[in-house]
Chains A and B, each alone.
With several copies, the nearest count.
Chain A
Amino acid sequence: MKKIEAIIKPFKLEEVKDALSEIGVEGMTITEVKGFGRQKGHTEIYRGSEYTVDFLPKIKVEAVVADGRLDAAVAAIVKAAKTGKIGDGKVFVSKIDEAVRIRTEEKGEQAV
């Protein structure tokens, strides 16, 4: 199995989720994160004391999928998350050795 980690713009979450569901990815885990990259942050000034926020709000979507599904899933995410503007985010893929569904203790691909 593979784990897909996608860092996307927050308001794209709904679309990404739908895209994944469509191709049959039934499960995913979402985290609110802050991103640092090419897209620059903004400056805030409070009564003269100024400071820059380099970190922008992003959403991390994690989905573990069977190897067969990987490419379809990545493609779906990229398609849904893309605005073409800087800051769209990244998709990272890594290997998962084992997965367990806690409720049933099923293991491997049928667990995801």
Chain B
Amino acid sequence: MKKIISLLSLIAVIACGVCPAFAADAPAPKLEDRVADLEAYVTNGARQTNAPTALTTSPGPGHNAFQMVSAALVLFMTLPGLALFYGGLVRRKNVLSVLAQCLGITGLVAILWWLCGYSIAFHGGVKPFWGGFGWAFLNGVDSTPNADYGGWVSHNVFSMYQLMFAIITPALIVGAIAERMKFSAILLFVTIWMFVVYFPLAHMVWGIDGLMNGVWNANAKIHAIDFAGGTVVHMSSGWSALILCLILGKRLGFGREPMPPHSMVLCMVGTGMLWVGWYGFNAGSAVAADVVAANAFMTTTMATAVASFTWGMIEYVIKGKPSILGFCSGAVAGLVVITPACGFVTANGAVIIGIIAGAVPFIFCYKVKNWFGYDDALDTFGVHAVGGTIGALLTGVLARKAANPNLSTNLKDYVTDSALQPLVWEQLKAIGLTLCLAIVGTTVIAFIVKAVIGLRVSEEVETVGLDLSEHGEEGYHSEGAI
């Protein structure tokens, strides 16, 4: 890595029309070098290494601004986006429990992140699947950019940006186990799960020396790519959700009693917020407001819109009635599937992804779920696991050099711009590994939690509703006592 950097910056400097004899220790930086750094900021390139300039330790305003806004947008996805999307889909008596789970997870994960989560996930130089404790308590994580993750974005901003990912991932699991899992059990489960599944996976995929970081780690064992978290976020949460809901069992009266969403309006509001926030999630993953982010913005928009429309139209044809939930599910599915691909595919690739994203998860939510009869309450598996898996695969198929210059370096032999390029095989390896980690990890953790404090609320609590029993509040009150 390091030698690549120096090499590249050397070339860059030369290319920039500056052919200086490398002055060992010049007192003041030469104008050429100062201009080179300024240009590096604009193009999100590497700084020159001849002499330190005013920019050497400074973040770049445009990129820093974009990253902070992106981080805020990703938080917006969880609070209140996801909370509403899920909250609207449960029954009235359980709406608050979903909100509480999202809020509780947010606080919990933030604390773990500060303790050592960020360090385990992103600190380099320890193991390809474990970052160690070098940045525990966010020590040394200040406003100076860390070139490994964003040459022009403050390191602390990057860490907060990644925290938002760490928050929404376990929050997604909530969808599968809604309306019946103990609040305490969720907190305990998530705590262990973050250490066993999320932090290691994040390190493998995004850590600078990560096992599966194909783009930046030349020595990666698996040369896979995942732009914004198809494996780390959606597959991990989705597959874990399936396992957990199987171990947890069905909701009382599942299949017998009707369990309609108590507010499709909230659900749709949440969808809109998810979509908007997802731009921070996808484009923001470029860690710069550069050409890559721009491409991710376009592909995210196209894939999502197409998937939403596709799902709706399939319903129109099959049921004669395009449902709001259909349009919303399609949009979310589109966002999920494009997530790993957004920074690597073209607009047309995005449209293809959109069509597939609107069709395949549809089948899982409408048919597969009923065949097998598992109670994936809010379709976390059907949308996130299935979507994330397809996405990881399609990324392998549709990644193109034209869409992202970074595919022409470490991966030039894997991305050959053809449907069956070697990258596909690498992606399959990554999918397999992620799948195993999520499934095995969750199974073990779930049984541990079950043994220690139990997973499920009592029948009575479930009948009365989690809001009153677990949180002592009701979602809605009309006038007076009644």
Contacts and interface: CB of A to CB of B under 8 A. Distances in A.
Touch test A–B (CB under 8 Å): yes
B260 A46 contact: yes
Interface string B242-281: 0000000000010011111100000000000000000000
Pick from A13, A34, A43, A46 the residue with the most CB of B within 10 Å.
Answer: A46
Interface residues on B, range: 20 to 34
Contacts of B253: 11
Interface string A13-53: 11000000000000000101010000000111111110111
A52 B257 CA distance: 10
A70 B195 CA distance: 64
Contacts of A48: 365-367, 369-370
A20 to B, nearest CB: 14
7 contacts: A11-B257, A34-B482, A44-B260, A46-B325, A47-B365, A52-B258, A59-B480
A11 B480 contact: yes
Interface in B338-378: 365-367, 369-370
Contacts of A47: 325-326, 329, 365-366, 369, 379, 382
Interface string B309-337: 00000000001000101100100000000
A54 interface: yes
Interface of B: 89, 253, 256-261, 319, 323, 325-326, 329, 365-367, 369-370, 379, 382, 463, 468, 472-474, 478-482
A21 to B, nearest CB: 14
A13 B481 contact: yes
B323 A59 contact: no
A57 interface: yes
A53 B472 CA distance: 11
* Interface majority SS (helix, strand, loop, mixed), chain A: strand
B255 to A, nearest CB: 8
B386 to A, nearest CB: 13
Nearest to B264: A46
A62 B54 CA distance: 80
Nearest to A48: B366
Given A11-B253, A49-B259, A43 B472 contact: yes
Contacts of B319: 45
Given A46-B325, A57-B479, A14 B473 contact: no
Contacts of B325: 46-47
Given A11-B257, A32-B482, A55-B482, A44 B472 contact: yes
